[in-house]
Amino acid sequence: MKIFSKMTSNEYNNRLEKILDNKTYDEDVKNLLLSMLYKIENGYNDYTKVKVKAIPKENFMEKILKIIEEQCFDIKIVTPKTELSKPLEQENKICKIDVDRGSILVYANEEDLLYSLIEMNLLQEEYKKVHELKNSNKEYYEDAIKEFVIKGICLNESEPIRDFDGWSWNNNIKNIENIEYNLIFQNIMMLNINVDNPEFYNKNFEKAIQDSKTFEKYMYIIILTLVSEQNEHVKTNIQNKLNELSELLKLMENKKKFLDKISENKKNIFNEIKKIDETINDKEKLRKEYDKRNAKLPNNKKIFSVSYLLDILAKEREEKLKEIKRINNFLDPSKFVKQKQKIENENDLLKNVVENLSNVESKKQTMINLQLEFLNRFEKQIEQNSNNKDYLEKLIYEFRYYCLIPIYQRNTISDVEKLQESIEKVMNSIIDNCIDKEIITNFSDSASLCYNILKYAFITKIINLKEVQIKINKIKTEKYVNETKYYISISVCDLKELENVYNEVVYNLDLLNVKTNKKIPLFLKF
């Protein structure tokens, strides 16, 4: 009998069953995988309506099947607060991945299982890159950024199960840490920043240091903050780097002493390069270096061969030459001031990170600053694409999605008072352009009233906005000498039922060309 035979038979389900026939997972794991696949299929169509930048369902399903078939050799599921779940609870994780063995330990629910499969895939890819670039020198921030991206992708790609059940759309991220990771990652995707580009991990960070107030600068500050909160090694590296920069800036106050010091460093580095060259060109020295290094390394990190050591030494030599180049910039009078400014900027950025780690309000303000910069950048994107009708239609969905992203445990973006002015600017831009292009209904001759009606389209949980209808009713009127004050209700509903009712106050409603007591579609038919 087929496992989970009550499921609807379909191509992906059948393919998964064939894959599972060749796996040694226990029956509970196999059933949970099939249940997971069913839930993905059940919610994915709604997911792609709500999130216009979601990858196509077919691509996502193929990816999941491939991960199970090619990367997961052992999956064990555990119940919380049991003896078997202690390894997860001790590290406060939902899953543990062993890339070498292709094994997963995960809590027994579909959402966590999907998260673990995505993490396995990302760690496998990262494992290959690390081995290809073994012992290449990384800056202190690169691994931290990579750690953030892996978690961001896992949260993003487990969303079809987490927030969509085939009937409704819910924001089910409860943990504040995950809420913050998810928000920043969604910011990055909405601004079309490519995290697959290697420059995201180094060159873009270096550029952000030089800019006084940009989205990227706040983004990297909060990324380093979040990762440092969970990773003591990253936190220590950042503090050490900050100490190093602070000492360097003190030293630079006396330019002569500073230049003498770095000239001495330059000589030492040249001596180190000379030693590397001698080792590379002398077989006996090369063998001794090979034995010396391997004696200090654990078995799983030992250098494979002498020829592999040659590659390592070549990379180390290249890094030292880069350091010489950096030192030469200080020795060049025309570049000294610029280099000092760069150090001051990086020092300030890291001071912000350390401040965030010790001060919750500072961290919250950084997050708000990031969102303000995001909204500013997003508004510029609208201006650049305002003549594209397809873009504008998708934009309504995309910005609705953004407004409903959690930012705190009980608040979404649309709830944050400090963001209201910027949100209103973006909404007005979207509304004006969409009315102008005859995409959505113009509910009033008054621009302000039209905004006060249409703003509710950006907080509705009705999945298909083309089913949204809005009805305006007069509740009460108060007449004055020169004007009449109207209390109105704005009802938001789909084709079947009422979702919510909001109240607004407007003056001289009868002069503003507003249709009342009638359901009017949000989207015009075209």
Taking residues 404-418, report their average pLDDT: 95
Q: Is residue 205 part of a domain?
A: no
Which of 359, 375, 407 delimits the end of a domain? Answer: 359
Q: Distances in Å between the alpha carbon of 357 and those of 174, 175, 226, 232, 350? A: 21, 18, 8, 12, 11
Which of 132, 150, 184 delimits the end of a domain? Answer: 132
Q: In this structure, are 401 and 353 located in the same domain?
A: no
Q: Distances in Å between the alpha carbon of 219 and those of 173, 215, 225? A: 21, 6, 10
Q: What SS3 class is residue 163?
A: coil
Confidence tier at 307 by pLDDT (50, 70, 90)? confident
Q: In this structure, are 345 and 255 located in the same domain?
A: yes
Place of tokens 């078995």: 299
Q: In this structure, are 396 and 497 located in the same domain?
A: yes
Q: In this structure, are 402 and 515 located in the same domain?
A: yes
Q: In this structure, are 312 and 407 located in the same domain?
A: no
Q: Is residue 195 part of a domain?
A: no
Q: What is the model's pLDDT at position 6?
A: 41
Taking residues 372-389, report their average pLDDT: 94
Full residue range of the structural domain in which residue 258 is found: 235-359
Q: Is residue 146 part of a domain?
A: no
Q: Tens digits of per-residue pLDDT, 313-337?
A: 998 898 889 888 878 877 777 778 8
Domain tally for the chain?
3
Extract the tokens encoding 305: 């061969």
**Mean pLDDT for all residues in the chain:** 91
Which of 132, 149, 182 delimits the end of a domain? Answer: 132
Q: In this structure, are 246 and 307 located in the same domain?
A: yes
Q: Is residue 180 part of a domain?
A: no
- If one compares 436 and 2, the residue with the highest pLDDT of the two is 436
Q: Is residue 404 part of a domain?
A: yes
Q: Is residue 480 part of a domain?
A: yes
Taking residues 290-301, report their average pLDDT: 83
Single pTM value for the model: 0.87
Q: What is the model's pLDDT at position 212?
A: 66
Place of tokens 């890291």: 350
Q: In this structure, are 35 and 102 located in the same domain?
A: yes
DSSP 98: E
> What dihedral do alpha carbons 365, 367, 368, 370 form, nearest 10°?
120
Q: Is residue 265 part of a domain?
A: yes
* E-assigned strand segments in 257-400: none
Q: Distances in Å between the alpha carbon of 149 and those of 152, 184, 187, 245, 354? A: 5, 10, 12, 26, 21
Q: What is the model's pLDDT at position 10?
A: 77
Q: What is the model's pLDDT at position 135?
A: 46
Whether the Cβ atoms of residue 113 and residue 145 lie closer than 8 Å to each other:
no
How far apart are the C-alpha atoms of 125 and 148, rounded to whole Å?
Answer: 15
Q: Is residue 471 part of a domain?
A: yes
Q: What is the model's pLDDT at position 131?
A: 54
Q: In this structure, are 449 and 491 located in the same domain?
A: yes
Q: In this structure, are 85 and 45 located in the same domain?
A: yes
Q: Which of 9-13, 85-89, 245-249, 471-475 has the lowest mean pLDDT?
A: 9-13
Q: In this structure, are 394 and 312 located in the same domain?
A: no
Q: In this structure, are 399 and 346 located in the same domain?
A: no
Extract the tokens encoding 354: 């350390």
How much of the chain exceeds pLDDT 70, in percent?
96
Strand partners, 95: 106
Whether the Cβ atoms of residue 111 and residue 158 lie closer than 8 Å to each other:
yes
Q: In this structure, are 252 and 337 located in the same domain?
A: yes
Q: What is the model's pLDDT at position 262?
A: 83
How far apart are the C-alpha atoms of 89 and 69, rounded to whole Å?
Answer: 28
Q: Angle at Cα 288 formed by Cα 283 and Cα 289, nearest 5°?
A: 95
Extract the tokens encoding 449: 């009233």
Whether the Cβ atoms of residue 222 and residue 367 lie closer than 8 Å to each other:
yes
Report strand pairing: 95-98 vs 469-479: unpaired
